[in-house]
Chain A
Amino acid sequence: MKDLGFSISQSRTIDLDKSDLSAYRRVVEKVPSAKLCLMCGACTATCTARNHTDFNFRKVHLLFRRGQFEGLAEELDKCMLCGKCRLVCNRGVNTRAIIYNMRIILENLNYKSIK
């Protein structure tokens, strides 16, 4: 595996007292099914991007949920939004919508407004 110059797996303590959990609440507002994830990893296993990289949706989702945003925007850029993960989710979580919303929040991408 290529070293991509950053790592999201460095060991550290997640201090929930100091973590920003509001971003995740915004995702849950848009995608209520996000709460249903039971972290089985089926999404990661079937991921199209996973064939090329170490992208791990379940992990990114969980780190986002815990308010650990470091490096996540770059990770999310690896996702091709193909939606395959949504099809294998037992819990019916709209995984693609979660990624979409995390991406919007992290990269602060907004709609173009009409002139």
Chain B
Amino acid sequence: MMNYHPFVIPFTVGALFLFGVVFYKFYAWIAALDRKQKFMVKQNIFSFKTIRAIGEIFREALVHRNIYRKNPVLGYMHMSLAFGWFLLIVVGKIKASLYAGTFFEPPWLGIFFNFFAVDGHAFSHSEMLTFTMDFLLLIILSGLALAIIKRVKSSLLGMRKTTKHSRFDRIALSSLWFIFPLRLMAESTTASLHGNGGFLTNSVGHLIPSTIAPYAELPLWWAYSISLFVFFVALPYSRYMHIPTEVVLIFLRNWGADTGEQLSGYTDIQLNSCSRCGICIDACQLNFAAGISNVQSVYFVRDARYKTLSDEVVNNCLMCGRCSNECPVGLELTLVRQQFRNKQEIPGKFYYEYTEPVESKAGVDVIYYAGCMTHLTPSIIISMKKIFEAAGVNYWFMDEDKGVCCGRPLRQQGFIQQSKNLVIKNSRIINSARAKLLVTSCPICYKSFREEYNLNLPVMHHTEYIEGLLADGRITLNASNVTVVYHDPCELGRGANIYEQPRNILRNFSLIESNYEKENSLCCGGSLSDAILDLRLQLKIRDHALGELTKDKPDVLVTACPLCKKSFVHGNKARVMDIAEIVAGNLKVIASKKRPVRKEELQLV
């Protein structure tokens, strides 16, 4: 039989196995999508979104543009391996088809082309194609060299920590390391015997002594085929499953699937799309500020995928969202972790019956909900009252003495049913007031109101509200040269995209930038979501963040969250103020020539 040799069997068997397993898995996951996700797929599969997804697959799954942006060397490493290999297969296929004169040549021909096509220059464009193949192999080998360096010493590639791998990963990884060097050696040996190589394989071929080449040729091709077999068989059970899965993920994401509250096929797809690159480890403050390096998203995703999740890995997380922000695959890591925290619901049980209904006050424009934590930072409450009065707002302080929690802290711990019960309680009070606006001082409550509540009025965090009052001229501020640094609270910044409003307000002061602005902001360590972290480590995270934020010695560190404020105040390093306080302390009293407030006059707390 032409173009056949028994050494192609391992490759062919491995490839068939791989396709079988991967398609079985895809089928199972897509079948397990929830109703909403399935609906979105049906809705959008024949739309422009599909084309957009293909573009994204090219950019992210092959070229790895996102990794490039974060770390060019790491980006090159991924691109050379993924895109390089992809092109090698495509060009190999073209070459084999041209050589065989048919599009339906045996699948292994492109893979082991040089072995069979010893007269490799006898078809059109063969010179150019051979050169391309050698060039691609060279690119892949350079990427492989970087991968080996990364394994041995990750800091050379600008990474503080690299992922620790499981057994399947190590098998797959070792076989992957062998594939391309073996291919180079096999092709070069054949080239030394038949002269059918390109610039690379011919040159390497010249180095192989002619006495050895005839004996080495077949074993090398066998070894190449076997290494492909091992890689293909290990792939579905290793991290390399991300290669096929990411394609599905990108399609689903473009079609509008969202992570949702409960575990679904989409969760599985996200878990399997993680390449375990370890970028999230470097992004995690638990790692670089508190020295915990076994709970990061990469390990969470791995353990969730292999069903070995421990309580510690699920719960020891600040849920600050820094990792989701950095993830090159765009996994919604915080939301997926949240899904795993969610507890079973007890049918028919209603919690918090005891909460006595607060009489809602009719005829007001604005409802002010300070939030539980804000009651421990009374200066925020006093400042908000001052601002409401200065702007002449008709408001009702809803939780002045008997507040009901917004429900988000319960949700973060996975008590969804309980949380919903509180949402019902609060919604009733808020909606029956028939006001025009709900203002809250706590970013946690804010996110909760925005995402979990069905209210008959818009909701604003006080940063948005104060910005609006300033823009409308309902309050004005004295010019001030006090230097301020702004700390974005996790739930307000990454959580709700409120970045510009506080900065617009602080333009009235001398605003200086820290190294951790906006999406890259740090957690203060006081996060409610981590039910494991003890105070000592929490303080380490705080001290690191505080050190970074006060590097340029600002007069005031401004934040917009009572929890952040509490964390930082106790750090004893800088004056810490909520944005409401610095505004209230600097209000221009209309019709009087009040001088600008000097920094000595600003209250410390």
- In this complex, the member of A30, A48, A52, A96 whose beta carbon has the largest number of chain B beta carbons within 10 angstroms is A48
With beta carbons under 8 angstroms apart, the residue of B342, B376, B531 that contacts A94 is B531
Known: A46-B376, A80-B404, A81-B415. A112 touches B263 (CB 8 A): yes
Chain A stretch 1-27: residues in CB contact (< 8 A) with chain B: 2, 4
Which residues of chain A are near B351, meaning CB under 8 Å? 77
Which residues of chain B are near A53, meaning CB under 8 Å? 354-355
A33 touches B535 (CB 8 A): yes
Chain B stretch 49-69: residues in CB contact (< 8 A) with chain A: none
Residue of A nearest to B342 (CB): A112
Which residues of chain A are near B309, meaning CB under 8 Å? 111
Known: A52-B355, A52-B356, A114-B307. A100 touches B531 (CB 8 A): yes
Which residues of chain A are near B304, meaning CB under 8 Å? 114
A83 touches B528 (CB 8 A): yes
Contact with B along A67-103 (1 / 0, CB 8 A): 0000000000110111110011000101011001100
A114 touches B376 (CB 8 A): no
Which residues of chain A are near B376, meaning CB under 8 Å? 46, 84, 87-88
Which residues of chain B are near A77, meaning CB under 8 Å? 351-352, 418
B307 touches A81 (CB 8 A): no
With beta carbons under 8 angstroms apart, the residue of B314, B402, B407, B536 that contacts A52 is B402
- Size band of the interface chain B makes with A: 35 or more
Least distance between B422 CB and chain A CB atoms (Å) = 6
Least distance between B525 CB and chain A CB atoms (Å) = 12
Alpha-carbon gap, A2 to B353, bound state (A): 11
A48 touches B403 (CB 8 A): yes
With beta carbons under 8 angstroms apart, the residue of A52, A100, A113 that contacts B413 is A100
Least distance between B131 CB and chain A CB atoms (Å) = 49
A82 touches B354 (CB 8 A): no
Alpha-carbon gap, A96 to B354, bound state (A): 20
B601 adjacent to chain A (CB < 8 Å)? no
Alpha-carbon gap, A50 to B314, bound state (A): 30
Residue of A nearest to B401 (CB): A51
Residue of B nearest to A84 (CB): B372
A80 touches B410 (CB 8 A): yes
Chain B stretch 529-585: residues in CB contact (< 8 A) with chain A: 531-536, 563, 566
Chain B stretch 492-543: residues in CB contact (< 8 A) with chain A: 526, 528, 531-536
A96 touches B352 (CB 8 A): no
Residue of A nearest to B531 (CB): A97
With beta carbons under 8 angstroms apart, the residue of A46, A83, A101, A115 that contacts B409 is A83
Least distance between B397 CB and chain A CB atoms (Å) = 14
Contact with A along B350-375 (1 / 0, CB 8 A): 01101110000000000000001101
Which residues of chain B are near A92, meaning CB under 8 Å? 534-536
Contact with A along B393-418 (1 / 0, CB 8 A): 00000000111110101100111001
Alpha-carbon gap, A96 to B375, bound state (A): 17
A81 touches B410 (CB 8 A): yes
Which residues of chain B are near A115, meaning CB under 8 Å? 32, 263
Alpha-carbon gap, A84 to B413, bound state (A): 15
Residue of B nearest to A2 (CB): B354
Known: A80-B404, A80-B422. A113 touches B409 (CB 8 A): no
Least distance between A36 CB and chain B CB atoms (Å) = 9
Known: A51-B403, A96-B528, A111-B341. A83 touches B356 (CB 8 A): no
A114 touches B422 (CB 8 A): no
A30 touches B372 (CB 8 A): no
Alpha-carbon gap, A57 to B414, bound state (A): 20
With beta carbons under 8 angstroms apart, the residue of A49, A88, A114 that contacts B267 is A114
Least distance between A32 CB and chain B CB atoms (Å) = 6
Alpha-carbon gap, A97 to B311, bound state (A): 13
Alpha-carbon gap, A53 to B342, bound state (A): 26
Residue of A nearest to B271 (CB): A114
Alpha-carbon gap, A111 to B375, bound state (A): 33
Which residues of chain B are near A101, meaning CB under 8 Å? 531
Residue of A nearest to B403 (CB): A48
Alpha-carbon gap, A30 to B314, bound state (A): 13
Known: A2-B354, A82-B409, A114-B307. A33 touches B373 (CB 8 A): no
Chain B stretch 234-263: residues in CB contact (< 8 A) with chain A: 262-263
Alpha-carbon gap, A82 to B355, bound state (A): 15
A83 touches B534 (CB 8 A): no
Alpha-carbon gap, A62 to B402, bound state (A): 26
B134 adjacent to chain A (CB < 8 Å)? no
Least distance between B311 CB and chain A CB atoms (Å) = 8
B47 adjacent to chain A (CB < 8 Å)? no
Which residues of chain B are near A109, meaning CB under 8 Å? 343-344
A84 touches B263 (CB 8 A): no
B340 adjacent to chain A (CB < 8 Å)? yes
Which residues of chain A are near B407, meaning CB under 8 Å? 80
Alpha-carbon gap, A69 to B391, bound state (A): 53
Least distance between A45 CB and chain B CB atoms (Å) = 11
- In this complex, the member of A31, A111, A115 whose beta carbon has the largest number of chain B beta carbons within 10 angstroms is A111
B535 touches A94 (CB 8 A): yes
B268 adjacent to chain A (CB < 8 Å)? yes
A82 touches B405 (CB 8 A): yes
With beta carbons under 8 angstroms apart, the residue of B262, B343, B532 that contacts A97 is B532
Contact with A along B290-321 (1 / 0, CB 8 A): 00000000000000100101010010000000
Which residues of chain B are near A96, meaning CB under 8 Å? 409, 528, 531
User: 29 A–B contact pairs at CB < 8 A?
Assistant: A2-B354, A33-B535, A48-B372, A52-B354, A52-B356, A52-B404, A53-B355, A77-B418, A80-B404, A80-B407, A81-B405, A81-B410, A81-B415, A83-B409, A84-B373, A87-B526, A92-B534, A94-B533, A94-B534, A96-B528, A109-B343, A110-B343, A110-B344, A111-B309, A112-B263, A112-B342, A112-B344, A114-B267, A115-B32
The 5 A-B pairs of least Cβ separation, nearest first, read A92-B535, A80-B405, A82-B405, A97-B531, A82-B372
Q: Apart from A4-B354, A94-B533, A114-B263, what are 13 other A-B pairs with CB-CB below 8 Å? A: A46-B375, A46-B376, A52-B355, A78-B354, A80-B405, A80-B422, A83-B373, A84-B373, A94-B531, A110-B344, A111-B342, A112-B344, A114-B268
Identify the A interface with B (CB < 8 A). Answer: 2, 4, 30-33, 46, 48-49, 51-53, 77-78, 80-84, 87-88, 92, 94, 96-97, 100-101, 109-115
